[in-house]
Structure 1
């Protein structure tokens, strides 16, 4: 069924999925004959398994099939023309749309409460495409200094080569400081719901309220908690991005990223000329019908532009096989994250009493300065990531890294395996010193991502290696 506000992507069609993106957590139910029954409210656990996919449209396959095809038959000239113009729904070329990837996009948009989503080859593709799309044409961004290392590197040294600059703030929760940076060219603020590795929490609601008074968008990286623990759109975020490589996939076996459009922001408010200028790619030149992205896609204009101008032209395509692996990972996300978050809190509490540990960063701790925000936004916990500092020098960090047996020395998070890494040398190596210090990253810091092992085994591994390092 065609949406009144969302056309299909020209040459990159997906079926309209506004029903499966219903943020009220509803979805279709069908009987065994395939007849649509009364729609029922569904919980997160149920939607993580079923949302955005109808097995009766795929020969009854309960699991989403892997459509390992570069292109799809258009049948005849009339249908080919309709697919290209967006008048007919369907798939033609997997660079822009593939049925397996489409199922993942539908499901994650549903779980985040957005109207549309675009899956990409990696988390950094999602971050970069979202920020470039918002600031396209020389706009400015605002961001805190305590971000993931690659995000800092992109905004500090790479985006300026394209005329896009970032104003950095010391504290993203100082709304007055953020507001003081807003100028006529400011397009968006970028923040992490839970920062990596400090686990600092962004107070999204007052930040979003202030930004919206200025017509500025809020883009939130929700990778660490995933939509199971936190949904930024419910508190005012306009765009949500993820590295689906992390907790969403959950098994360290597939790279991916996602951009989710809330459908609630007015991209035609005057700050974003790229959304109101007429574009050939969404128009019908033959019949003299010219449209902008805002006109062609309505409240899904942001996702439309990310897909048509960035995914289509720059080609950071998620493979069908990786989309399949991430759909499988999503099915157990609630169960995995409940255990991993409980274990992370237990380990953080234990580390507070371990000799030679000088600081534990985990916002769920009673001792954390972010505890009030954790209680407000994260009633089920803040996720599996924490960090801690050791006394001594870098040699002590190296001894721990070299001696762990249960933890794996891996630059990833959100895995079923518990992981350890030294951020100053790995994840934040390319970050300038003042940004590293703002994120609490130095040669004394270790980051943990807690998996599904028995908590006592993980604690024993840390106790043994920390004691042995001294």
Structure 2
């Protein structure tokens, strides 16, 4: 879209980044299913490889379909640029890649998706990185966990599985005081419900697999750069501030300014890690985003109805949904997620682990899958699946205790969802 009027979210989710195809006039963004691109001449090729000119070289790095998606997500998040990749987990590694080095650590919330806890507690150690897990409601503990080797602070805006809402303003204050970037996973909230950059985040990551695509068809990830962090101030981020040998000593921050992280993510991250999003996946996600606000409104509306009903059920011990007045995080909804608390939450059953298993096996309308953010309502017992690799103490800290079931509420008729849960609970 050309510069000029300031458009609303509903307009941007349809139009941002997209223009009629210059060759054919096609209105929908084409799937550019190509590996490579023809250079105009030798000088053009050299300029592209030297990062002196922006364009397309090879689809591991950039692709026109994927580029539209990156621009659209960045626009919706209020960032200056974005990089799309193959999955949400890939996005997390790519977000950390320019910041970290052997012996460096991150401070991460205890309330994270189980796969992220495993990635940060186990897998990143193979790179010589480490993570310290802290309750992000305890700001003193977050501050105490930061040391000279800390390079980032990481949390989820609306945490999976419990729907816990992080006080992003408070955590951003801690990050700013320490001179560290705050990375926020905004998968569960989406930019419709929460824009972490507005609350001080440096980088925003997504599993585009979830709500952004919304139809359970493809995997993908994205990193959005706020463009507001000074990568040269502290000397802690040499990949962005110091000469890059692979580009004849180019300094990314000095050369690209607010877009330093974005250019590094493409020119080094995608080049060397190769965690590329394919253009068909980008196409499905672009189509999904066109209805994001409509879907998130229904997800949230339905979640309020289902969570309110569950809270009164005699077999339910507790419901974690932040959209309920009884939630300890309810006061954060208006400030952090003013359009609602989303469609993800958990509830605990009084009869424990076996009751959860029986419930999951008894639903009809809910789908028992390891996913969230689909138009369909989904159910899973996290302790035996997505959080199975964690200790029970870690499960409890993450909001996935053995007696807890996670729901991802879809866009069906809420009364039908309640009826399905009612008949399933009757069998527990």
| TM norm structure 1 | 0.88
1:173 to 137, 160, 163: 137
Counterpart residue number, 1:468: 427
Q: How far has the Cα of 1:267 moved from its partner?
A: 1.1
Q: Would you say 1:418 and 2:377 are equivalent positions?
A: yes
For residues 245-394 of structure 1, the aligned pairs below 5 Å read 245-269=209-233, 270-283=235-248, 290-394=249-353
- Alpha carbon RMSD of aligned pairs, Å? 1.4
User: Are the counterparts in 2 of residues 114 and 261 from structure 1 also a CA contact under 8 Å?
Assistant: yes
Counterpart residue number, 2:86: 121
Counterpart residue number, 2:361: 402
1:52 to 17, 26, 42: 17
**SS of aligned partner of 1:152:** helix
Task: State the alpha-carbon separation in 1 of the partners of residues 47 and 99 from structure 2.
Answer: 30
Counterpart residue number, 1:209: 173
For residues 106-185 of structure 1, the aligned pairs below 5 Å read 106-169=71-134, 171-185=135-149
Query: What is the CA deviation profile of residues 117-169 of structure 1, one whole-angstrom value per residue up to 9, with x for unaligned ones?
Result: 00000000001221233223432100121211111111111112211111221
Query: What is the CA deviation profile of residues 209-254 of structure 1, one whole-angstrom value per residue up to 9, with x for unaligned ones?
Result: 2221221110000000100110000010000000000000000001
Query: What is the CA deviation profile of residues 352-410 of structure 1, one whole-angstrom value per residue up to 9, with x for unaligned ones?
Result: 01121111010110000001111221221111111111122322212211111110001
User: Are the counterparts in 2 of residues 412 and 419 from structure 1 also a CA contact under 8 Å?
Assistant: yes
Deviating 4+ runs (over 4 angstroms) = none
User: Are the counterparts in 2 of residues 137 and 274 from structure 1 also a CA contact under 8 Å?
Assistant: no
**Unpaired segments of 5 or more residues in structure 1?**
1-26, 30-38, 284-289
Task: State the alpha-carbon separation in 2 of the partners of residues 136 and 395 from structure 1.
Answer: 44
**Unpaired segments of 5 or more residues in structure 2?**
none
**SS of aligned partner of 2:427:** helix
**SS of aligned partner of 1:334:** helix
**SS of aligned partner of 2:28:** coil
User: Are the counterparts in 1 of residues 346 and 407 from structure 2 also a CA contact under 8 Å?
Assistant: yes
Q: Would you say 1:219 and 2:183 are equivalent positions?
A: yes
**SS of aligned partner of 2:265:** helix
Counterpart residue number, 1:33: none
User: Are the counterparts in 2 of residues 409 and 420 from structure 1 also a CA contact under 8 Å?
Assistant: yes
Counterpart residue number, 1:81: 46
| TM norm structure 2 | 0.97
Q: Would you say 1:28 and 2:2 are equivalent positions?
A: yes
- Report the CA distance shift for 1:58/1:395 in structure 2 as closer, same or farther (over 3 A): farther
Q: How far has the Cα of 1:198 moved from its partner?
A: 1.4
Q: How far has the Cα of 1:70 moved from its partner?
A: 0.7
Which stretch of structure 1 is more off in the superposition, 434-443 or 454-463?
A: 434-443
Q: Would you say 1:188 and 2:152 are equivalent positions?
A: yes
Query: What is the CA deviation profile of residues 282-318 of structure 1, one whole-angstrom value per residue up to 9, with x for unaligned ones?
Result: 33xxxxxx32222232112222222222211111110
